Amino acid sequence: MKLVVVSNRVARGNANEPMTGGLAAALLPVVEKSGAIWVGSSGRVRDGAQKEPFAEIEALGAGALAMLDLPAAHYGGYYEGFANSALWPALHSRADLIRASQDDYLSYREVNAFMARALLRFQKPDAAFWIQDYHFLALGAELRDLGVTVPVGFFLHTPWPVRAVMEGVPHHRELIEAMLAYDLIGFQTQDDCENFLEYLSSCLGLESEDGVVISRYGKSRIAVFPIGIDAEKFALHAAKAVSHPDVSRLRRSLNGEKLAIGVDRLDYSKGLINRINAFDRMWTLQPALARTASLLQIATPSRGAIEAYGNLQNELAKLVSDVNGRHGEVDWTPIRYLNKGFSQTVLAGLYRTAQVGVVTPLHDGMNLVAKEYVAAQNPADPGVLVLSKFAGAADELDTALLVNPHDIDGMARTIATALSMPLSERRLRWEAMMDKLRNHTIQQWFADFVEALQATQAYGPAAVPAMMEPPTLWPLRSVNSGVRYH
């Protein structure tokens, strides 16, 4: 089978936004080894109806990395608009932040259709397409409309919310019907999967049997595939990275003081405000912890053109400065706050240096930082992971100190507990987590999904239920520069 993996962001990143780890970095070695073709955005846009949509195609292992310049007229409406101002907040249960104009939706559909046309280049009788994430919910349907019959799978890296939240997304019904063109739909957790099936049942009248749903497109299998990391490789990386100059400088600057670390994209789903409030509370409740434990918070700027992200950046900067002003000393800064990205190598070394990893999102699909923090620890003296129970990773990493990120006092107490946990308990908790990471690698995740995608070919023709109407066609019209509600 010739696999074609599709994602918005690919491993090469965008010249204007340095890549800090994240999904694309984690996927790179796996896709490279698989010999697949990886298709995604080049991070640049192009005007006009270019004949050749691919800006660059380069070798990637035995496969290739193919990058497209997306259409300039639709990029903003697609990426900052519908994908990240309507779908992203909804998927993270922030219905209050959903903003979408009709033009944004049309742009989203146009980019999905554009990607589908570009992918035809890779269609072969033995091909299979694996589409990643919420940027391309309708891509499978677009491929089917173009006559593609090979297996097409989809994996969602974010959570899937309860039905009522998803109903807040304009055109949700049409989009989710379109998702059923995928032969296989993968989620990070059982909860996400159940929420999706509940939507299908309540809103579309479609019931599943053993995780299989029948629609006008045929059969779709809905299943859980929790993503992992290459824990052994990350551990080796971390052990070497302690001598990296940035990591050595950090260690020297600590003067024996304990360190907690948080590494996140600057995103409202990551619970950064609550986290800083929890540290504030901890230093207030336990003044003895001042000077003995500080926080290094790396918050990489993200999606800066969207109002909600700009607001968060301002609010967070002010909060950090207030907390530092309140608890700081002439020779001690409670929170080191950095708005920039770091390489995977440096991050691995920073994780190993910190006695506590704080990963406290309000909602997160999986959260690979949680897994990387665990993998980076020194087995002889491991740190403690404080993890939100609302991160997908909490299902597996259940010997972390699990917290409710809305309970500031509870988080403050738990972080203090983590900072003083005895070695014997730290080792027990860490070993249990490390075992799980070793057994659920990203390589295994990739192989399991591909195997399940191949198996969908054995389903045979589907009986189409009579009650399902063909999807409503969205009005095709040109997109003007229109109002966008960011």
List interacting residues with ligand F6P (CB under 6 A).
8-9, 22-23, 133, 157-158, 302-303, 365
Q: CA 22, CA 16: separation in Å to the nearest integer?
A: 16
Q: Which is nearer to ligand F6P, 387 or 412 (CB)?
A: 387
Beta bridge partners of 57: 66
Q: Which is nearer to ligand F6P, 9 or 327 (CB)?
A: 9
Q: Which is nearer to ligand F6P, 262 or 365 (CB)?
A: 365
Least Cβ distance, residue 433 to ligand F6P (angstroms): 21
- Is 264 annotated in the active site? no
The CA angle 145-146-149, to the nearest 5 degrees, is: 85
Least Cβ distance, residue 334 to ligand F6P (angstroms): 29
Q: How many CA atoms lie within 13 A of 121 on its CB side?
A: 16
Whether the CB-CB separation of 220 and 183 falls below 8 Å is answered with yes
How many CB atoms are closer than 10 A to CB 164? Answer: 11
Q: Which is nearer to ligand F6P, 133 or 280 (CB)?
A: 133
Least Cβ distance, residue 134 to ligand F6P (angstroms): 7
> Residue type at 81?
G
Q: CA 32, CA 64: separation in Å to the nearest integer?
A: 8
Q: Which is nearer to ligand F6P, 74 or 303 (CB)?
A: 303
Rg of the Cα atoms in the chain: 23
Q: Which is nearer to ligand F6P, 133 or 372 (CB)?
A: 133
Q: CA 14, CA 18: separation in Å to the nearest integer?
A: 7
Least Cβ distance, residue 15 to ligand F6P (angstroms): 14
Least Cβ distance, residue 341 to ligand F6P (angstroms): 11
* Catalytic residue (one of 74, 92, 157, 171): 157
Least Cβ distance, residue 8 to ligand F6P (angstroms): 6
Q: Which is nearer to ligand F6P, 303 or 327 (CB)?
A: 303
Least Cβ distance, residue 216 to ligand F6P (angstroms): 29
What phi and psi values does residue 103 have, to the nearest 5 degrees?
-60, -40
- Is 172 annotated in the active site? no
Q: Which is nearer to ligand F6P, 121 or 307 (CB)?
A: 307
Structure tokens at 76: 């903003």
Q: CA 379, CA 319: separation in Å to the nearest integer?
A: 35
Q: CA 246, CA 466: separation in Å to the nearest integer?
A: 63
Least Cβ distance, residue 309 to ligand F6P (angstroms): 10
Least Cβ distance, residue 389 to ligand F6P (angstroms): 18
Q: Which is nearer to ligand F6P, 85 or 355 (CB)?
A: 85
* Catalytic residue (one of 103, 264, 364, 486): 364
Least Cβ distance, residue 300 to ligand F6P (angstroms): 9
Q: Which is nearer to ligand F6P, 12 or 429 (CB)?
A: 12
Q: Identify which of 219, 221, 151 has the alpha carbon closest to the alpha carbon of residue 461.
A: 219
Catalytic machinery residues: 157, 364
